[in-house]
Structure 1
Amino acid sequence: MNYSQIVKLLGKENESLFTHTCKTISSDKLHVPNPDFVDQILLPSNRGVQTLRNLQQFFNTGRLAGTGYLSILPVDQGIEHSAGASFAANPEYFDPENIIKLAIEGGCNAVASTFGLLGAVARKYAHKIPFLVKINHNELLTYPNKFDQVLFGKVDDAWNMGAAAVGATVYFGSEESTRQITEIARAFDRAHELGMVTVLWCYLRNSAFKKDGKDYHVSADLTGQAIHLGVTIQADIVKQKLPENNGGYLALNADGITYGKFDKRMYTQLATDHPIDLCRYQVINSYMGRAGLINSGGASEGKKDLMEAVRTAVINKRAGGMGMISGRKAFQKPMKEGIELLHAIQDVYLEKKIAVA
């Protein structure tokens, strides 16, 4: 998909995504993804040689090899959203090997999934595409359903199957977040000892974050702080939902309630309501891009999937992000269509006319 096709796909309502100039935090202050990102940004850090090598393997794999950008296929929905609900649309993906084939033929830098799924095919594929093992999950079989990320295995098990990275989720804002932060901080420390890359799903979870008809689980200010906490426990890459609004702190501090801390300049100087500026606020919270921000692709919604995936990629790239991690929009389709969608996302990062705003 070339530049003209991308512009046509997104339509007139998205014209500003291609012309916008970010006047909050300028791009020259960011650590923007580039072919030498590991040498320029991570080499001076406390990361060990093996971690740097494994991250470089990410950057050297797939259609985006040599660009500094990432396209990752995540398939942990068999646990997170239940297997039947996730794979009914395309039952061939009950077989782990087809998921790996989708990631490879889709030109991805890595494939992210569970201990069981990746372990089932590790000897055949761990050397062909970087494995990112998700070490904790929220399962939906407990009745009534609960929302708590719990460990499903050990970092050493992921290392033994040849994985290059481990991933985890913390539900920031939840009652269980303190335990999750502590568990994952320890797990990431062990992963770095073993020379693995660490990736954190920096998600929010609290029913109070939905207020007055707005869902502040996707507000720039709250997601930005979740990212900042994720980078603080030494995530090399942070995954976050694309922001859809802002002002979470403002809304939650209404009615005489005190929650967190904020500065009004967060909303007047560090962000506007433009989608790229909202995402830029996420990037600056990842230590100005020292930890790569990858935005999630979200649920599959049928005909709009291609447009929404490409739109997210444009916003992420122009904001200074490092790429996308998109699963359901790809694997809940026939493999050919899933490959085409992944390639369309990657085409945004390959297109030089789409530059950081």
Structure 2
Amino acid sequence: MASSLTLSRENEALLTHEALVSKDMIHTPGPDFLDRCFVPGSRTPQVLRSLGAIYNHGRLAGTGYVSILPVDQGIEHTAGSSFGPNPMYFDPENILRLAVEGGCNAVATTFGTFGTVARKYAHKIPFLVKINHNELLTYPNKFDQIMFGSVRQAWDMGATAVGATVYFGSAESNHQIIEVTAAFEEAHRLGMATVLWCYTRNNAFKTSDKDYHVAADLTGQANHLGVTMGADIIKQKLPENNGGFTTLKFGKTFPAMYDKLSGDHPIDLTRYQVLNCYAGRIGLINSGGESLGDGDREAAVKTAIINKRAGGQGLISGRKAFQRPFAEGVDLLNAIQDVYLDPAITIA
């Protein structure tokens, strides 16, 4: 399906890049992705049905790609800072409306949101319930995630999937890994799919001149751990640099990580993330990032191009969509989806 997507020169330039790691080394997205990559595994028929509900919903249905609207910022930041730019989203029904009218595969939000409107929307779009949060009202703030409800509670309100965050590298990561792994096991037992936000958090990961929270080597290893924990989809920030392990002088490395398996180009950095998702057997979706204003649409399209050409499976973009007028939010979500619908934008 061709789209009417108009690209800037910068984004057009991304279309000609040749990846360091051949696409033949990864399991690429496509209409048969679930059959190729999940049917041979241990997921039950109920989990496969839940994954099918996500992959076969919205404008990207049947393509192997996903577009998800995530809105948990009311807890993760503050409701005022998150919804102040567009106060209509203090009413959680508008979050569900945006996901439905925006043609998303699923909507990811909180127990509170779903608890107020579940009966009205459970049959209209797959629910992804975010079960843990860093609420940031604790002072001083700490890099922790705590459970805000149970997996069974998510299932009772009609969830197709549950999502959780682990802050890999933080002092609190051990208990997060244990709790989320157990929660994902229970979710699979109940037939739900699982999505893991594989974020890195440690003050030492940020130096005077570079933020290694978005380094390909650190985020790639976080992805690898996330797959091991039982995630069906990995959510990760788009990588911006590399060499976190070597600069910070910890972990284990091999020279090829930096010159043959990755490079300086954003598509190569992101392909390394895909490689760490068991060579793409588990889909990588990148986050859309914060809203910076007028350039959000172009930035979202760029992120989608990088993700798609690297072999990723889609974008999970929230603030760029809901922190603007409703119609503009729908348009931005559609612009992201158009990247994945455009046959001219191929896997590098």
Q: Contact 1:211–1:251 (CA<8 Å) still a contact in 2?
A: no
Looking at structure 1, the residues matched to 192 and 179 of structure 2 have their Cα atoms a distance apart, in angstroms, of 17
1:212-233 Cα shifts (integer Å, max 9, x gaps): 4100000000000000000011
* Counterpart position of 1:276: 267
The counterpart of 2:181, out of the listed 170, 179, 185, is 185
The counterpart of 1:120, out of the listed 116, 122, 134, is 116
* Counterpart position of 1:152: 148
Q: Contact 1:6–1:310 (CA<8 Å) still a contact in 2?
A: no
5+ residue gaps in structure 1?
254-258
CA RMSD of aligned residues (A): 1.2
TM-score (ref. length: structure 2): 0.98
Matched, 1:6 2:6: yes
Cα distance 1:3–1:16, how it changes in 2: closer, same or farther (>3 A)? farther
1:102-153 Cα shifts (integer Å, max 9, x gaps): 0000000000001111111111101110000000000121222222101111
Matched, 1:47 2:49: no
1:196-227 Cα shifts (integer Å, max 9, x gaps): 00000000000000114100000000000000
The counterpart of 2:218, out of the listed 222, 227, 234, is 222
* Counterpart position of 2:13: 16
How many residue pairs align between the two structures? 348
Looking at structure 1, the residues matched to 14 and 79 of structure 2 have their Cα atoms a distance apart, in angstroms, of 36
* Counterpart position of 2:90: 94
TM-score (ref. length: structure 1): 0.96
Amino acid in structure 1 at the alignment position of 2:247: A
Looking at structure 1, the residues matched to 316 and 12 of structure 2 have their Cα atoms a distance apart, in angstroms, of 24
* Counterpart position of 1:256: none
Looking at structure 2, the residues matched to 271 and 348 of structure 1 have their Cα atoms a distance apart, in angstroms, of 23
Give the secondary structure class of the aligned counterpart of 2:128: strand
Give the secondary structure class of the aligned counterpart of 2:70: strand
Looking at structure 1, the residues matched to 229 and 187 of structure 2 have their Cα atoms a distance apart, in angstroms, of 12
Matched, 1:29 2:25: yes
Deviates more, 1:324-333 or 1:29-38: 29-38
* Counterpart position of 1:263: 254
* Counterpart position of 1:335: 326
Deviation (angstroms), 1:60: 1.0
Deviation (angstroms), 1:14: 3.8
Amino acid in structure 2 at the alignment position of 1:214: K
Q: Calculate percent identity across the aligned residue pairs.
A: 67
The counterpart of 2:139, out of the listed 116, 139, 143, is 143
Q: Contact 1:198–1:237 (CA<8 Å) still a contact in 2?
A: yes
Pairwise mapping of residues 280-291 of structure 1 onto structure 2 (< 5 A)? 280-291=271-282
Deviation (angstroms), 1:334: 0.6
Deviation (angstroms), 1:265: 1.1
Give the secondary structure class of the aligned counterpart of 1:302: coil
